[in-house]
Amino acid sequence: MSHPIELPDTGRPVTVYFHSELDDPLAWAQILTEALPDLRFLTGPACDSPESVDIALVWTPPPQGLNAFPNLRAVLSLGAGVDQLQLDSLRNPQISVARLVDPTLTARMVDYCKAAVFYLHRNFHVHQRQQVRRVWKFIAPVDAGTRRILILGQGVLGAAVAVGLADEGFHVSGWSRSPKGLPNVKSLCGENVLAPALAESDIVINLLPLTSQTRGILNRGFFSQIKPDTCLINVGRGAHLNEPDLLEALDEGKVAAAFLDVFDQEPLPPEHPFWSYAQVHVTPHVASLSDPAHSAATVIENIRRAMNRLPLVNAVDRSTGY
């Protein structure tokens, strides 16, 4: 499908430099050049004309760094998160940054969190450990409404997960910096409300962005405030979690089970203790991936906006880091 758009006549082709270890350059090249036939799509470690690059479409910074492009107008993240772009090292404050917001990415995150929540809600984590010991022990199911779920982060993804779980009948609260008015979701703001919410939650889902304020938030102090047998779902970033502190909380039985999709070091090294903890469910950063077919329209719109020096869609505030 073609998306004809008008770009200003700069006298030279608009140039996009692509870099990602996860995304398919061919798929992106095809979809972008179909919409913008004059666009130059560059990728690969050797970029012979860095001064021609207008837009960086990247998951992580390329090996030469983003400052290697002296005329860069915009950095378009191939992810919903932008921490991996190391924006603090971007020297030119005029460069605008946008992240991906894509309904498919959101829907996949809702699926992942619902799957993990239902697994825990129906005590599969307990039955799975009983099976290993050949134990036949009945645990009476309870109503979803008796399960209290706390979601850290109420942005695009956290809000969608909150509403999705509330629709399933769970008791859902969402923590954010500013108040929200989501249907059937209790909005919590500020540091002071976190401890009482943690003390009554059965499942905590982390969907915060990684910033200087949220780095390491899932630490010993955090685990000391949760009620016994709380379960954790970390789909934010690995660096939100202090991994040794979680291992300690698991050993002490404070945390009953954890679904971990993101890690300090990815891929998770083979010798990492998480692999062999029965209470830990490891997934390889797959909770939610973007797909060019669904996210290209916004990227194309942002190329148009950047070339016309207009504010970007889904712009990132470089001062807050999300």
Active-site annotation, residues = 237, 285
- Cβ atoms of residues 313 and 305 within 8 Å: yes
Q: Which entry of ligand GLV, ligand NAP, none binds 236, CB below 5 to 8 A by partner kind?
A: ligand NAP
Q: Give the nearer residue to ligand NAP in terms of CB position, either 64 or 187.
A: 187
Q: Which residue has the tokens 């290697």?
A: 68
Pairing mode of beta strands 148-152, 185-189 = unpaired
Nearer to ligand NAP, 60 or 211 (CB): 211
Which lies closer to ligand GLV via its Cβ, residue 189 or residue 289? Answer: 289
* Least distance from ligand GLV to the Cβ atom of residue 81, Å: 3
Straight-line distance from the first to the last Cα atom of the chain, in angstroms, rounded to the nearest whole number: 31
233 lies in the binding site for ligand GLV (CB under 6 A): no
Which residue has tokens 């400052």?
67
Told to check if 79 binds ligand GLV by CB under 6 A, we report yes
Stretch that binds ligand GLV, among 9-17, 77-85, 197-205, 272-280 (CB under 6 A): 77-85
Q: Is the dihedral of CA 213, 217, 219, 220 positive or negative?
A: positive
Contact range with ligand GLV by CB under 6 A, out of 7-15, 48-56, 79-87, 133-141: 79-87
**Looking at beta carbons, which residue is closest to ligand GLV?**
79
Binding site partner of 155, from ligand GLV, ligand NAP, none, Cβ cut-off 5-8 A by kind: ligand NAP
- Binder of residue 238, out of ligand GLV, ligand NAP, none (CB less than 5 to 8 A by kind): none
Residue 81 binds ligand GLV, judged by CB under 6 A: yes
Give me the least distance between CB of 68 and ligand GLV, in Å please. 23
Q: How far apart are CA 82 and CA 78, in angstroms?
A: 9
Is the CB of residue 230 less than 8 Å from the CB of residue 205? no
Residue closest to 102 by CA, chosen among 81, 80, 75, 77: 80
Helix (H) or strand (E) run with residue 76 in it: strand 74-77
- Of 254, 188, 185, nearest to 218 (Cα)? 254
Question: What residue 265 binds from ligand GLV, ligand NAP, none (CB within 5 to 8 A, per partner kind)?
Answer: none
Choose the contact partner of 177 out of ligand GLV, ligand NAP, none; CB within 5 to 8 A by kind.
ligand NAP
Taking contact as CB under 6 A, which single stretch among the options 46-54, 76-84, 179-187, 189-197 is the one that binds ligand GLV? 76-84
Minimum Å gap between C-beta 64 and ligand GLV is 22
> Which parts of this chain interact with ligand NAP (CB under 6 A)?
80-81, 109, 153-158, 175-178, 207-211, 213-214, 235-237, 261-262, 285, 287-288, 322
CB of 37 to ligand NAP, least distance (A): 31
Q: At what angle do helices 156-167 and 103-121 cross, to 10 degrees?
A: 50
Taking CB atoms, the residue at the shortest distance from ligand NAP is 155
CA angle centred on 8, ends 3 and 12, rounded to 5°: 100
Smallest gap from Cβ 228 to ligand GLV, in A, equals 31
- Cα 188 from Cα 109, distance rounded (Å): 21
Check binding of 153 to ligand GLV (CB under 6 A). Answer: no
Contact at 8 Å (CB) between 174 and 182? yes
- What separation in angstroms does the CA of 174 have from each of 194, 203, 238? 10, 12, 20
Q: Let me know how long the chain is.
A: 322
Question: Do 91 and 61 touch, CB atoms closer than 8 A?
Answer: no
Residues that bind ligand GLV (CB under 6 A): 79-81
